[in-house]
A and B are shown apart, each in its own frame.
Chain A
Amino acid sequence: MPDANRIDRRLAALKAEGRTALVAYVTTGDPSLAATLPIVRSLIDAGADLIELGVPFSDPMADGPVVQRASERALAQGVGLHDVLGVVRALRTTDNVTPVVLMGYANPIEAMGVDAFVAAARAAGVDGVLVVDYPPEEAHEFAAKLDAAGLALIFLVSPTTTPARAAEIGRLARGYVYYVALTGVTGAMHLDTRDVATRLAAIRAHIPVPIGVGFGIRDAASATAIAPHADAVVIGSRIIQEIEAAGEAAAAERVGAWLGTIRTALDGVEGAGTR
């Protein structure tokens, strides 16, 4: 039977080994729908512990130009939420252990219908859902439905999140939370490690689930700098740039090779994940 709790099991296992989880994001359908599954498998083979699959949306308000371009390329081929679920189903024929989280915006889910989406996501083998524009205030009903289906609702936490809000997020959060290390959009440039460490320590008091850090991690140096403070590092825009540079035929191989260097660097970090 599908394990509805792949996220918790994977993150707990990594913690026990003293390793920081490596989370890789790709937009489904970029550069093509057919290319996505090989890219995902390559990322997993290269050491990705968890896959975030982007659901293309026409108006990705919180994303920077890199992820938006990926979304536009996918949309130009008509890729939508049904196709994303299809990729997960296909992955599950060979991989029943790697957790998969869908990341996107509310409208495609609401267009499908929340109940239909939750059922389809569970059936496909999805483990969690991150809806960028569902803050906790608007997510209670959705959270309850995901809970009932054994799917995790992943929330964003930002440097501007107050302790009171962090506590509210902590009550609803399942799986992990995704700490947005910058106040900017995805793919932005500057990351202040010391600032992240201080803020993570404060937020941890309110958040019972593991904390992944993303937005601004783009190479081995930034990944290893963050790793000692985080349960997971999330890389997205940088992977998409590798896909853009590689072209469709070489994309899977190139992202795998690139992510492998991050994996190696992360595994060399002393004390990572041992808090």
Chain B
Amino acid sequence: MQMHDATTTFKYDLPDAKGHFGPYGGIFVAETLMRALAQLNDAYARYRTDPGFIAEFEDELAHYVGRPSPVYHAKHWSEALGGAQIWLKREDLNHTGAHKVNNCIGQALLARRLGKRRVIAETGAGQHGVATATVAARYGMECVVYMGSEDVRRQAQNVYRMNLLGAKVVPVESGSKTLKDALNEAMRDWVTNVDTTFYIIGTVAGPHPYPMMVRDFQSVIGRECLEQMPAAIGRDPDMVIACVGGGSNAMGIFHPYIDRPHVKLVGVEAAGEGIATGKHAASLTAGRPGVLHGNRTYLLQNEDGQIIETHSVSAGLDYPGVGPEHAWLKDSGRADYVSVTDDEALAAFHTCCRMEGIIPALESSHALAHAARIAPTLARDTVLLVNLSGRGDKDMATVAERDAAKGA
């Protein structure tokens, strides 16, 4: 199904100047934030093509993060499944253990150029908070991380890690005490301290230019794959699979492939205890469009337009919205979105540990679970490239708790 006709290829160039991906994205914030966003937009427009900025970003990625991250053929697991070949993009090998650091370095470098010495962040699983605290230490910046108190409890080790790195972690007690509430609180801090503070958003959501900017910084993942996969197998993969909470690791690996229609793109959302139970975090699968956190996108909401509480075993996917570019990719049909339950993700987690000697993050385990689900149905020469977005060290307590409960 390779497309050879040059007229059917297209150059993907979203978002538009105002941050719209079709009907999604945009800037839906209070007037108090508009100047800060305009300033950020101007700065990013200037630096995204600035050779000095790009060179510094790439140098940091190479020497501080350890990029490029390898692609790895999960031969043993693929063999056991008896179908498609599963390849892993090893973002788990990055410094700090996940893809999140790519974006944090980009934004911290931008903050430095804007003369802002204080950075704030929201975090769910703690990975983005750790990555932000890490780069803040690296560049000598003050760092405050907002984290839902429920997540503080679930991810105690990451909280300790952020403290070690010199960041102040503020537990957020409002609402559902998870990522969305941390995001609200970080926005409030930014509104109040906008002159001194740079808000490092960790995912491809929020008001323009964040979805575009975070995607751009994360696109290093997919750009590396564009070279690594042909070097390894002589061609592009047939399918790219990534988990989607807010969706930054997925956008990072999808974006460079959008112009290549022969590569299928599949995002995997958290079905939690099952879509039918209502206890899930699958906004593209089960939500409808609305406005939250500065952008229009698919949201999990009730009839009154109130955002509802989400559930996932993985804190990093526990978010009621999703990046607006994913909303556009879904509606346009360029990407497909599926979901995987807590139990399916945990099963994939264990299999990956045993068969490949890799402990994946629970977030990434959702993408692995989908790959393992479809691999047996596909030909042996089909190649599935899965973004292994993070390592699972942070999830030891969660997994141990679940396994103990199951054994009891």
Contacts and interface: CB of A to CB of B under 8 A. Distances in A.
A180 B32 contact: yes
A158 interface: yes
A187 B30 CA distance: 15
Contacts of B258: none
Interface string A179-216: 01001110010000000000000000000000000000
B293 A57 contact: no
Contacts of A133: 28-30, 291, 294
B86 interface: no
A183 B29 contact: no
A45 interface: no
Contact of B30 (A82, A107, A108, A132): A132
Contact of B175 (A72, A108, A183): A72
Contacts of B78: none
Interface stretch (A5-13, A61-69, A227-235, A257-265): A61-69
B31 interface: yes
Interface stretch (A15-23, A109-117, A245-253, A267-275): A109-117
Given A61-B187, A68-B174, A107-B299, A80 B305 contact: yes
A58 B34 contact: no
B207 to A, nearest CB: 9
B11 to A, nearest CB: 26
A155 B29 CA distance: 12
Contacts of A105: 291
A130 B31 CA distance: 12
Interface stretch (B103-111, B157-165, B188-196, B351-359): B188-196
Contacts of B32: 62, 156, 158, 160, 180, 183-184
A135 B29 contact: yes
Contacts of B304: 78, 80-82, 108, 111
Interface string A51-85: 00000111111101100100010010010111000
Nearest to A68: B174
B305 A110 contact: yes
A108 B29 contact: no
Given A138-B26, A160-B34, A184-B191, A61 B293 contact: yes
B299 A61 contact: no
Interface in B258-310: 289-294, 299, 301, 303-308
A185 B192 contact: yes
Interface in B181-203: 181, 184, 187-188, 191-192, 194
A160 to B, nearest CB: 4
Contacts of B34: 135, 158, 160-161, 165
B188 A107 contact: no
Interface in B1-52: 18, 26-32, 34-36
Nearest to A82: B304
Contacts of B194: 160, 183
Interface in A71-105: 72, 75, 78, 80-82, 105
Nearest to A83: B304
A241 interface: no
A107 B307 contact: yes
Contacts of B294: 61, 133
Contacts of A65: 174
A59 B188 CA distance: 11
Given A61-B187, A160-B36, A106 B30 contact: no
A1 B116 CA distance: 56
Contact of B290 (A81, A111, A157, A162): A111
A61 B306 contact: no
A106 B28 contact: yes
B305 A81 contact: yes
Contact of A106 (B174, B188, B291, B306): B291
B17 to A, nearest CB: 11
Interface string A27-69: 0000000000000000000000000000011111110110010
B301 A59 contact: no
Interface centre among B180, B191, B192, B308 (most CB of A within 10 A): B191
Contacts of B305: 57, 80-81, 107-112
Contacts of B293: 59, 61
Contacts of A156: 30-32
A161 B29 CA distance: 13
Contacts of A157: 31
Interface string A143-186: 00000000000011110111001000100000000001001110
A61 B31 contact: no
Nearest to A56: B306
A166 to B, nearest CB: 10
B188 A58 contact: no
A181 to B, nearest CB: 11
A269 B195 CA distance: 34
Given A133-B28, A156-B31, A61 B184 contact: yes
B192 A183 contact: yes
A169 B34 CA distance: 12
Contact of A160 (B35, B174, B181, B303): B35
10 contacts: A59-B180, A61-B293, A72-B174, A111-B290, A158-B30, A158-B31, A158-B32, A160-B36, A169-B31, A183-B32
* 4 closest cross-chain pairs (CB), A and B: A111-B305, A80-B304, A108-B305, A160-B35
Given A61-B184, A110-B290, A135-B34, 7 more contacts: A106-B291, A107-B307, A133-B291, A137-B26, A158-B31, A180-B30, A184-B192
